[in-house]
Structure 1
Amino acid sequence: MIKQFTVNMTPFNRLRTVRVYVPKSYETDTDKRYPVLYMHDGQNLFKDEDASFGVSWGISDYLDIAEIDLIVVGLDCSQEGYQRLDEYGPWVNKDVGKKLIGEDKPFGGEGEEYIDYVTHELKPMIDAKYRTQPDNTLLAGSSMGGLITTYAACKYPLIYKRAASVSSAYWFSQELLESYIQSNDLTAVERFYHDVGTKESSSDISSQDYINSSKAIDELLQKKVSDCRFEIVEGAEHNEAAWRERFPRILDYLMK
């Protein structure tokens, strides 16, 4: 079952849709409490008709079939121009506009406020509204959602103890993210998954750029997280169809 409601993201005063999947057992086993997986780009998670490019991750269908006891909370991304880059970018990148849209325009810089909102406002709201396990919280996202997921695991390792960063746009803030990983204590992070496909690309960002970027981050994470899994996925492209295919094994790793 998927329920949705609108929230005001208070740091930005922006209205946004929240989509919440609850498992089949939620209505029948009324004493049971559930772990919660928070994900970015909520419109792309559950139904193809809601997805930005017509294909979703198919998460609700998979969880129903697999009968996994998990609540999934998806917070939609901004649909206003390139605002998604601002919200999912922890730091301002003054040069990336030329590579992505051919314009001399900075992006990013709202990521800290965005993840603070998820952590300090959205999560308490969900914990109050649903039968959750407040100390059993997972986080996942793809592309820029992967970047902000990795940032969040570094900033709040005691909360996001298990996280997945899929097809990560680490290149958006490469040097600053590397420094941030090195400066934070990640011993509380129990499992961290990240990957990259061999056929990823975004405008002028090539597949090799994606691979080199992820390899550099992995070298740091392997030293900081006791259980860190990195995969280079042969032939995988940068889209929801590819992420849909590998979601089951990612979730299996996070929840084992």
Structure 2
Amino acid sequence: MIEKLHIQFEAMNSLRTIHVYLPPFYHESQERYPVIYMYDGHNLFHDENATYGYSWHMEEFLDQYDKPFIVVGIECPHEGNQRLEEYCPYDVENSFLGTIHGYGQLFMDFVVEVVKPYIDNHYRTIPFRECTMIGGSSMGGLMSLYTIIAYNQYFSKAACLSSSIGICMDALTNEMNQHDLNVDTRVYLSWGSEESRNKRGLAYASMHNLEISHLLNQKHIMTYPYLQVNGRHSEQSWQQQIPIFMDYLWKSK
């Protein structure tokens, strides 16, 4: 079951639409549930809400999965360049994307200071970081990686799919050096073999993800770097990875 609500993002003077998945029989039980927060929430559940007409179909997966969760999909702004700015923690000059004045840190303060307390107060969650995950794809994947590094006191798991880490690799590396991470942290990093325009692009994506994995491993953080053969930069490819990152982040020891 999906519920939709709106929460005011005061710093940007705008509303954020939140798509909340509740497990079957939620209203018939008193059970509390771990929570998965995800970016681009409109792309997660229903095709009619998805940007390109195809969603991750995550509701169907979770309804059949053997472990119940609450999923909080935070919808991005759709006007102009705002999604890029909201899902980037730094100011970036990029030859392809142009100038990005990132306010990702401001957005994440909103997530942990406003959205998460609202969810914990209005739904039967298990609010501890050990039972809280962050996830996203593309710029949302970049934000998921930034979140697990800079806001590790709130999140213990991250699914970072097709992450746009190449646009700010140096800043991410510096960010990682500034934070001590809990050793129970787990990070799933993926990229698709067909996402890049050529072999050079694939080599860069592989290099960046493996470098991030190595840096996290040096901090004693477990990672799962995954090259999706024939994977593209699309909801269809990310949907196929749901059972992989869910099993890794929530079941593996």
Interval of TM-score (by shorter of Structure 1 and Structure 2): over 0.9
Residue 207 of structure 1: aligned partner: 202
Residue 50 of structure 1: aligned partner: 49
Residue type matched to 2:8 in 1?
Answer: N
SS at match of 2:61: helix
Question: Are the equivalent residues in 2 in contact too, given 1:182–1:220 (CA < 8 A)?
Answer: no
Please give the TM-score of this superposition, normalised by the length of structure 1.
Answer: 0.92
Q: 1:188 Cα shift?
A: 4.3
Matched, 1:106 2:99: yes
CA distance in structure 2 between the partners assigned to 1:248 and 1:54 by the alignment: 22
Question: Are the equivalent residues in 1 in contact too, given 2:17–2:74 (CA < 8 A)?
Answer: yes
Q: Deviations over 1:26-66 (max 9, x none)?
A: 1221x210000000000000011110011111100111122
Question: Are the equivalent residues in 1 in contact too, given 2:141–2:161 (CA < 8 A)?
Answer: yes
Question: Are the equivalent residues in 2 in contact too, given 1:139–1:163 (CA < 8 A)?
Answer: yes
CA distance in structure 2 between the partners assigned to 1:162 and 1:67 by the alignment: 19
Residue 89 of structure 1: aligned partner: 88
Shift in CA distance, 255/25, structure 1 to aligned 2, threshold 3 Å: farther
CA distance in structure 1 between the partners assigned to 2:14 and 2:206 by the alignment: 34
CA distance in structure 2 between the partners assigned to 1:188 and 1:14 by the alignment: 36
Q: 1:71 Cα shift?
A: 0.2
CA distance in structure 1 between the partners assigned to 2:102 and 2:183 by the alignment: 26
Residue type matched to 2:118 in 1?
Answer: M
Shift in CA distance, 190/41, structure 1 to aligned 2, threshold 3 Å: same
Residue 133 of structure 2: aligned partner: 138
Residue type matched to 2:34 in 1?
Answer: P
Q: Deviations over 1:132-174 (max 9, x none)?
A: 0010211111111111111111112121111111111101211
Q: Deviations over 1:170-225 (max 9, x none)?
A: 012110001111221113442111111111138xx933332222122122112124
Please give the TM-score of this superposition, normalised by the length of structure 2.
Answer: 0.93
Residue 122 of structure 1: aligned partner: 115
Residue 13 of structure 1: aligned partner: 13
- In the TM superposition, what are the counterparts of 1:137-156 in structure 2 within 5 Å? 137-156=132-151
Residue type matched to 2:96 in 1?
Answer: K
Question: Are the equivalent residues in 1 in contact too, given 2:183–2:221 (CA < 8 A)?
Answer: no
CA distance in structure 2 between the partners assigned to 1:211 and 1:81 by the alignment: 30
SS at match of 2:100: coil
Shift in CA distance, 206/16, structure 1 to aligned 2, threshold 3 Å: same
CA RMSD of aligned residues (A): 1.7
SS at match of 2:241: helix
CA distance in structure 2 between the partners assigned to 1:159 and 1:225 by the alignment: 18
Shift in CA distance, 209/226, structure 1 to aligned 2, threshold 3 Å: closer
Matched, 1:255 2:236: no
Identity value in percent: 36
Q: How many residues are matched? A: 248
> Which residue among 226, 236, 244 is the counterpart of 1:241?
236
Greater CA deviation, 117-126 or 179-188? 179-188
Question: Are the equivalent residues in 2 in contact too, given 1:192–1:225 (CA < 8 A)?
Answer: no
Matched, 1:175 2:170: yes
Residue 2 of structure 1: aligned partner: 2
Q: Deviations over 1:71-109 (max 9, x none)?
A: 00001011011211100110000x21x313xxxx41042
CA distance in structure 1 between the partners assigned to 2:117 and 2:23 by the alignment: 20
SS at match of 2:28: coil
Question: Are the equivalent residues in 1 in contact too, given 2:18–2:41 (CA < 8 A)?
Answer: yes
CA distance in structure 1 between the partners assigned to 2:27 and 2:195 by the alignment: 40
Residue type matched to 2:51 in 1?
Answer: S
Residue type matched to 2:211 in 1?
Answer: A
CA distance in structure 1 between the partners assigned to 2:221 and 2:17 by the alignment: 35
Structure 1: 5+ residue stretches without partners = none
Residue type matched to 1:116 in 2?
Answer: D
